[in-house]
Amino acid sequence: MKKPTSFEIKNMNKEVLLAWEEIVKKDEDDISLWIQELRKLGYKAAHPNDCWVKGNEVTLVYPQFNDGVDVGDKIMLGWQGENERPIVLIKKIVTMFDVDIWKFKDIK
């Protein structure tokens, strides 16, 4: 097998980048549609169901979206189509570092 020329490598890299760009664009579009649907259903925010969710508490550190939340609002934990967990906020705890921790209950 012969070694590819620099021109061939540049073209291969361009194809890889274009394919990656297409994958990222589709993912962004899917997430945007998911967020639109959540808003239609009355959700005020979505956040990954990760280490910032502990028991029945969540800290909205890096939400997928956050339209401003308060007690009584619905939040979706998880990702689109993966591990989705609808919750409702029942209490706000403000820490000394001005970080809000939200107590919640699951929506059945």
Domain membership of residue 94 (yes or no) is yes
Domain membership of residue 42 (yes or no) is yes
pLDDT above 90 for 7: no
Report how many domains make up the chain. Answer: 1
Domain membership of residue 67 (yes or no) is yes
94 band by pLDDT with thresholds 50, 70 and 90: very high
Domain membership of residue 1 (yes or no) is no
Domain membership of residue 98 (yes or no) is yes
CA angle 28, 37, 91 (to 5 degrees): 105
**pLDDT tens digits, 61-88:** 999 999 999 999 999 999 988 889 999 9
96 band by pLDDT with thresholds 50, 70 and 90: confident
Provide mean pLDDT across the span 27-31.
Answer: 92
Provide the 10 A C-beta neighbour count for residue 102: 24
